[in-house]
A and B are shown apart, each in its own frame.
Chain A
Amino acid sequence: MENKLIISPSPHIHSGDSINKNMYGVLIALIPAFLVSVYYFGLGALIVTVVSVLSCVLFEYLIQRFLLKTAPSVGDGSAVLTGVLLAFNLPSNLPVWIIVIGALVAIGIGKMSFGGLGNNIFNPALVGRVFLLISFPAPMTTWPLPGRLPLTYVDAATGATSLSLLNEGTGHLPSCVDMLLGNMGGSLGEVSALALLLGFAYLLIRKIITWHIPVAVVGTLVASTGLMHLIDPLSYAGPLIHLLSGGLLLGAVFMATDYVTSPMSRTGMLVYGVGIGLLTAVIRLFGSYPEGVSFAILIMNALTPLINNYFKPKHFGEK
């Protein structure tokens, strides 16, 4: 025994934390939103999610196995997570072939072309989502109306989201209670603020993420849309509507906090979050797209290395 003692530098113990635990932790936090989406969008939500997850995992496996010729690491859960997040950003009546293209772009271009997990600059799920939005604007912006466990998929009856209503200035907005619960049109994972907040609480308790990014995003958006609402209440909707509609909470809690593509220091996180909040407000209020969270996050993803460079952690001994 003794001539086989293991010699290695300190520390000699490990917390037991792993990439898997973090990825599956985020997946657990997404369960409430998933259940809500299945409740309101039924079969469609289920099919979109399953197709998205399976194709993300499959593409990652195939690319690692046959193109990069490295040991496949789909077990780490990151491809599953990308699949779920991509699905959550899609309408629940999107045809299978479009989802598969989205997954290929997300995993192939968004993630693996940079060298796989940890090396990508942009959030892969958002890369896939924005690619689809630009390539297939019509199917990506027709939203099934919420029902009660509907068994429809591509044949679902469609309507507008609250943000597109705002953008066009027509129709009636859903009530705030409906928005909180998720009883409105939209991407399948974004509709229920309550479910997303439940997931946020779980992430905080498990210490998978810190509060900095989500709070900065939401705070900035509420402040800036609130200011515009005060200036001109007729043209600009109130901050509560902006907070509860579109992909804001999904983006702030689950997309902007992606480890790989967000800054590392606390101040950096706040700056990044404020940037996302501001860009989202600008796109929503003045842009031609009704929704801007995806673009805002991708733009701030690109700025992350710069933010990391300027906003270092608070060094011991600094005043």
Chain B
Amino acid sequence: MLRTFRIGGTHPPENKLSAGKKVRVIEAPGQVVIPLRQHIGAPAQAVVKKGDRVKAGTLLARPAGLVSAGIHSSVSGKVNKIDEIVDMSGYKQPAVYIDTEGDEWEEAIDRSETLKKECTLSSSEIVRRISEAGIVGLGGATFPTQVKLMPPPGSRAELLIINGVECEPYLTSDHALMIEKGEQILTGVSILMKAIDVHKAVIGIESNKPDAIVYFRDMVRNFPGIDIMPLKVQYPQGGEKQLIDAVIRRQIKSGALPISVGAVVQNVGTAYAVYEAVQKNKPLIERIVTVTGKGLPEPSNFLVRIGTPIRRLIEAAGGIPGDTGKIIGGGPMMGKALVSADIPVTKGCSGVLLLPKQEALRKPACNCIRCAKCVSVCPMGLNPALLMNATEFANWEVAEKNYVVDCIECGSCNFICPANRPLLDYIRSGKGKVMELIRNRKS
């Protein structure tokens, strides 16, 4: 029996159309638009101005505060302007527009393909390099990586858990990366282990990627302390709390951090970015993006410069199908519906999914029949129907008492509801309201 997390969970159709497709490189476009906030936390502060010449890897904006991340240019060329753009979150963000000229990289970056396994840097030097490279959690949460590597005083990490789950339907970018850059990922994992001073790491991979499991099992023999754990396919196993529960059978208490059970979780994509930053001196300026959808001629995995408009990727995958009703940044369960195809790829963008109009429209909601299917799928052990009602009637006390703030917004309740009720829409707003009330109470 394969392990999985122990509360709730569901299994949406996997639809991994681009699985097994080799990663194709998308050349740098004529212009990139690089938002200054591609992470959780404060937006980075621009250090370039209009007319400046930059190379690929040049710092465009430095982190503003502890929870923030630097932003680097992904192309060489000239800064056209610094202006606002609507990004994947749907909000306006300041962004640097760069007109591409040639493809010149910062000299310090080692662009060779040779694997560099040895790392003699100390823990603090590793963390500093990661921080300088602007690395954030590439699973989608985009939390600045260096923050996770500096445990709060009094706590100690015992285990590094690497997230190779990729539980979102359709997405295959992590899978493609694992197949093509396995040794680099494992080197990155070793570096991360050194950074947080642990001797054990577990890479969780769902069983729908048997090739990755076999490949990694074979390779970890050369990487002491790293284990592979195949996991049962179950959504949302890529959630940090769920993955920890699946791997070490421990559940983080409400409001606590993974470090409270001695775990640090990083995504495989992040581990690869760490390898590139520490061993090759390369900041986070590229990533793998799955471009997929049933109507798309050629669902693909692309290696893309940050700031490339997603239109370019869709064109490279065969063009926008005529019946497209929705373009989603990310997967179908937690991704965001985009307002246009001109939005640039950012660090957290693991995929672009095109849904036909038929699938994109919601069905009208009916009365709740209290079937409790939402309760049985909720991976946090909440009662979504109750939380939706509490929010609907502004009953914040009930919402708070029933742990609305613990909701991870995975969407399982909406997905399963036979009455098509927009449970998560309500719970999300209720969660925001209750968090605000809690903040006000504290201050």
Contacts and interface: CB of A to CB of B under 8 A. Distances in A.
B27 interface: no
Given A313-B375, A316-B381, A5 B340 contact: yes
A264 B359 contact: no
Contacts of A76: 366
A314 B378 CA distance: 10
B169 A17 contact: no
Interface string B237-259: 00001000100000111101000
Interface stretch (A46-54, A112-120, A190-198): A112-120
A158 interface: no
Given A6-B357, A315-B380, A259 B375 contact: no
A10 B273 CA distance: 28
Interface in B335-392: 335-341, 353, 355, 357, 359-363, 366-373, 375-376, 378-383, 385-386
Interface in B304-357: 320, 322, 324-328, 330, 332-341, 353, 355, 357
A interface, size bucket: 35 or more
The listed residue with most B CB atoms (<10 A of its CB), out of A13, A119, A210, is A13
Contact of B360 (A12, A259, A263, A317): A12
A260 B419 CA distance: 12
B358 to A, nearest CB: 11
A313 to B, nearest CB: 5
A14 B362 contact: yes
B290 to A, nearest CB: 15
A184 to B, nearest CB: 33
Contact of A1 (B322, B363, B422): B322
Nearest to A304: B370
Contacts of A6: 325-326, 337, 357, 360-361
B270 to A, nearest CB: 22
Contacts of A5: 324-327, 337-340
B338 to A, nearest CB: 7
B123 interface: no
B333 A9 contact: no
Contacts of A11: 332-334, 411-412, 414-415, 424
A264 B326 contact: no
A119 B367 contact: yes
A264 B372 contact: yes
A136 to B, nearest CB: 31
B interface, size bucket: 35 or more
Interface in A1-36: 1-2, 5-15, 17-19, 21-22
Interface string A251-270: 00000000110111110000
B314 to A, nearest CB: 11
A19 B414 contact: no
B335 A12 contact: yes
Interface in B26-81: none
Contacts of B420: 14, 18
A13 B324 CA distance: 14
Contacts of A7: 90, 326, 337, 339
Contact of A313 (B320, B324, B383): B383
Interface stretch (B107-115, B201-209, B220-228, B401-409): B401-409
B212 interface: no
Contact of A13 (B254, B330, B415): B415
Given A10-B334, A11-B414, A22-B418, A264 B327 contact: no
Nearest to B371: A259
Contacts of B326: 5-8, 12
A313 B414 contact: no
A312 interface: yes
Contacts of A315: 254, 380-382, 403, 406
Given A5-B327, A11-B333, A19-B418, A314 B371 contact: no
Nearest to B366: A19
Contacts of B256: 317
A318 interface: yes
Interface string A290-315: 00000000000000000010001111
A76 B366 CA distance: 10
A165 B197 CA distance: 76
A315 B241 CA distance: 13
Contacts of A13: 12-13, 169, 332-333, 355, 359, 415
A314 B375 CA distance: 10
Contacts of B411: 10-11
B158 to A, nearest CB: 19
Nearest to A76: B366
A9 B428 contact: yes
Nearest to A261: B370
8 contacts: A9-B337, A9-B422, A9-B425, A10-B335, A11-B411, A14-B417, A316-B241, A316-B252
Interface of B: 7, 10, 12-13, 90, 169, 241, 245, 251-254, 256, 320, 322, 324-328, 330, 332-341, 353, 355, 357, 359-363, 366-373, 375-376, 378-383, 385-386, 402-403, 406, 409, 411-412, 414-420, 422, 424-425, 428
Given A9-B422, A313-B382, 12 more contacts: A5-B327, A5-B337, A6-B337, A9-B337, A12-B335, A14-B414, A14-B420, A117-B366, A264-B386, A315-B254, A315-B406, A316-B7
